[in-house]
Amino acid sequence: MSADVDILLEEALSQKPLRLALLRRLLAWTRPYRSTFLLSIAGTALAVTSQIFGPKLIQLGIDRYLTHITTSAAANRGIFIISAIYLGNLLLNWGVTVAQVRAVVRVGQGMMNDMRLAVFQHIQRLSLSYFDKTHQGRIISRADYDIDAMEQVLTWGANQLLASALTLTGVLFMMLRTNLRLCLAVSLVLPPLAVATYLFQKYIMQAHRQVRRQSSRLTASLAENISGVRVVQAMGREDENLENYQDLNMVLTRRAYDAARIFHTYMPSLNLVSGVGIAIVLGYGGELLQRHEITVGDLAAFILYVQMFFGPVQTMGDLYNNILSAAASAERIFQLLDTKPQVIDRPGARALAPIKGRVRFDGVSFRYETTPENRWILDEVDFLAEAGQTVALVGHTGSGKTSIISLLARFYEPQLGRILIDDQDVSQTTIASLHRQLGIVTQENFLFTGTIFENLRFGRPEASADEVREAAKAVGTDEMIGQMKDGYATKVGERGGNLSAGERQLICITRALVARPRILILDEATSAVDTKSEALIQAALEILLEDRTTFVIAHRLSTIRKASLILVLHEGRIVERGTHESLITAGGVYAGLHEEFSRHR
């Protein structure tokens, strides 16, 4: 979905009520920790039982040993026994709570870890079409901020909910057993409590969804400006971008303020209702006490139970706020996890056997999802590249060169036609087996955080140090790396920012060669290197590309001239094909491009 469609979908989600199906799906993440989860549930039940038993002990102490004293010694002994039992009950509650908290944290953090891994794994498997249409910041927001926003609920939610429900049930039972009329009197505060809770639920969920949505926009803006910081500074756009970021940030502040205002209106309302309940108990309970219809111990226990009753109500209100906040994040996470890769292994797909590298495009037509349906990016493309040939793709920007190599690598799939390698339809083979025999070097020269040695082995982790060094020597990278302070152990900064563009590209080319691909794709692979570095690469390619099928997109004549086959593309069609000499002699489109390239050398 495009960025605009992504926003529209989030708008639609913001209109949905909290669904039990969503909560059940979250609960399913506890399955790997079922025994620990059940242990925490049992601990919660025991801790609540112990807590509810406390006011009853106070009632017994007051009624038996403080208001009806027979002898001083008997009263002291009774009070001592009740106090000892009360203290033992407190110690039991403390021990059970400590064990229960440890179990809860183990389950919650385990779920968080599993969810992060699942999101990261899924993101890596999504087709490139998803990244073409979804802002990087939105993806990062879901993989990071949204999962963090769920921590409170994943770690404490189930136990807090159970503890509150058990406490309310137990307290209500004890209140009814203590005095029915007092219990009915306190119930007068329940209708306003229900109305306040209904209004809170109605408005807070939408408020949290708006906060999540605006936070995603803010993260997207931040990620975009960090990625394009060079362009921003070069064009003097700092002030304009800051103004735009301030506007987004102000909207987020207003959304967060609205959510906080709703929540912090509801919680004082609960405190008010709780106070009214206690006032009712004191007033009506005092009258019943004067009529000797209840005891002092009954009244004291009832007041404690009323406080205990509204405590879980407040906890559940706070928890419900967190649940609604987490639900807004969970919806976005599950929306990401439910996004299906467009390019997947088909049923019955087989592993691609070791190949020689014969590539054939058979009537291939292709358009991206965002392409107008009446225009093909590639239109009935046919060609054959024999094993070991170097094929150069030539044409103006937008002619379809990159689309050809993207289809060959199965980053996308054509709407029409077939792509065959050694007469095997790649759509019927597994993606992993294809990529193991494919090497790609792009003009982006992307390196990962780590050492140079780790980057060189990225495509074949089992490669030995000697194999890595041999490939580096063949390309001429070994000498360059040897001049660095730590050699192959030199740390590579984020995206290789501590290396020059030429150094990054040479390392990327060496990385592809270490992987020993049968088919090698060079997409403007020499565009970032100087003439001296390019000469080293070209000399190495003559040896290293033997018996490898190579597809080259390049604007430099030195790369194109030596190609076995040149395919000239225009508006998605192959308009000319042949060798450099034959196409120059023909005096057609390629000859004109060659002349244009020569003028810009």
- DSSP string spanning 474-532? HHTHHHHHHTSTTGGGPEE-GGGTTS-HHHHHHHHHHHHHHT--SEEEEESTTTTS-HH
pLDDT value of residue 7: 45
Please tell me which residue, 413 or 597, carries the higher pLDDT value.
413
Count other C-beta atoms under 10 Å from residue 175's C-beta: 23
Which residues face 486 on adjacent strands?
none
CATH topology for 10-337 is ABC transporter transmembrane region fold (1.20.1560)
| Whether 521 contacts 508, CB under 8 Å | no
pLDDT value of residue 380: 92
Residue 421 has pLDDT above 90, yes or no: yes
Assign domain 355-437+519-601 to its CATH architecture: 3-Layer(aba) Sandwich (3.40)
Q: Residue range 19-35: average pLDDT?
A: 80
| Whether 463 contacts 472, CB under 8 Å | no
Please name which of 360, 171, 371, 145 lies closest in space to residue 277, comparing C-alpha atoms.
Answer: 171
How far from 553 is each of 295, 532, 563, CA to CA, in Å?
93, 20, 11
Q: What is the spatial distance between Cα 400 and Cα 261, in angstroms, rounded to a whole number?
A: 54
pLDDT value of residue 385: 93
3-class DSSP assignment, residue 378: strand
Count other C-beta atoms under 10 Å from residue 285's C-beta: 24
Tokens representing 188 are 């007068």
Name which of 222-231, 332-341, 413-422, 528-537 the model is least confident about: 528-537
Domains 355-437+519-601 and 445-516 share a fold: yes
Please tell me which residue, 67 or 182, carries the higher pLDDT value.
182
Residue 10 has pLDDT above 60, yes or no: no
Please, which pLDDT band fits residue 6 given cuts at 50, 70 and 90?
Answer: very low
pLDDT value of residue 568: 92
DSSP string, 217-281: HHHHHHHHHHHTHHHHHHTT-HHHHHHHHHHHHHHHHHHHHHHHHHHHHHHHHHHHHHHHHHHHH
Tokens representing 318 are 């706070």
| Whether 138 contacts 6, CB under 8 Å | yes
Q: What is the spatial distance between Cα 334 and Cα 29, in angstroms, rounded to a whole number?
A: 12
Provide the pairing of β-strand 416-421 with 359-366.
antiparallel
pLDDT value of residue 565: 92
pLDDT value of residue 386: 92
Q: What is the mean pLDDT of the chain?
A: 80
Residue 133 has pLDDT above 60, yes or no: yes
Phi, then psi, of 384 in degrees rounded to 5: -130, 125
Please, which pLDDT band fits residue 8 given cuts at 50, 70 and 90?
Answer: very low
- Identity of the amino acid at 469: R
pLDDT value of residue 360: 95
Q: What is the spatial distance between Cα 210 and Cα 281, in angstroms, rounded to a whole number?
A: 41
| Whether 551 contacts 519, CB under 8 Å | yes
Q: Residue range 421-448: average pLDDT?
A: 86
The model carries a pTM of 0.67
The per-residue pLDDT for range 359-373, each reduced to its tens digit, is 999 999 999 877 777
3-class DSSP assignment, residue 202: helix
* DSSP assignment letter at 156: I
The per-residue pLDDT for range 364-405, each reduced to its tens digit, is 999 987 777 778 999 999 999 999 899 999 988 888 998 999
pLDDT value of residue 567: 94
Please tell me which residue, 515 or 136, carries the higher pLDDT value.
515
Task: Find out if CATH 3.20.20.70 is the number for domain 445-516.
Answer: no
Please tell me which residue, 587 or 266, carries the higher pLDDT value.
587
3-class DSSP assignment, residue 307: helix
Residue 72 has pLDDT above 80, yes or no: no
User: Tokens 């807590």 — which residue?
Assistant: 51
Report domain extents, the chain: 10-337, 355-437+519-601, 445-516
* DSSP assignment letter at 189: G
pLDDT value of residue 18: 52
Please, which pLDDT band fits residue 141 given cuts at 50, 70 and 90?
Answer: confident
pLDDT value of residue 70: 54
pLDDT value of residue 530: 62
Taking each helix axis from N to C terminus, what angle separates 72-125 and 34-65, rounded to the nearest 10 degrees?
160
pLDDT value of residue 14: 43
Residue 500 has pLDDT above 80, yes or no: no
Q: What is the spatial distance between Cα 423 and Cα 71, in angstroms, rounded to a whole number?
A: 104
List the end-to-end C-alpha distance of the chain, in Å, as a whole number.
41
Q: What is the spatial distance between Cα 30 and Cα 299, in angstroms, rounded to a whole number?
A: 42
| Residue 437 burial by Cβ neighbours in a 10 Å radius (0-12, 13-18, 19+) | middle
Please, which pLDDT band fits residue 495 given cuts at 50, 70 and 90?
Answer: low
Name which of 4-18, 98-112, 321-335 the model is least confident about: 4-18
The per-residue pLDDT for range 144-173, each reduced to its tens digit, is 778 877 777 777 777 778 888 888 888 888
pLDDT value of residue 439: 85
The per-residue pLDDT for range 521-557, each reduced to its tens digit, is 888 766 655 666 666 666 666 666 777 898 988 766 6
- Identity of the amino acid at 568: V
The per-residue pLDDT for range 221-255, each reduced to its tens digit, is 777 777 666 667 666 677 887 888 888 888 888 88
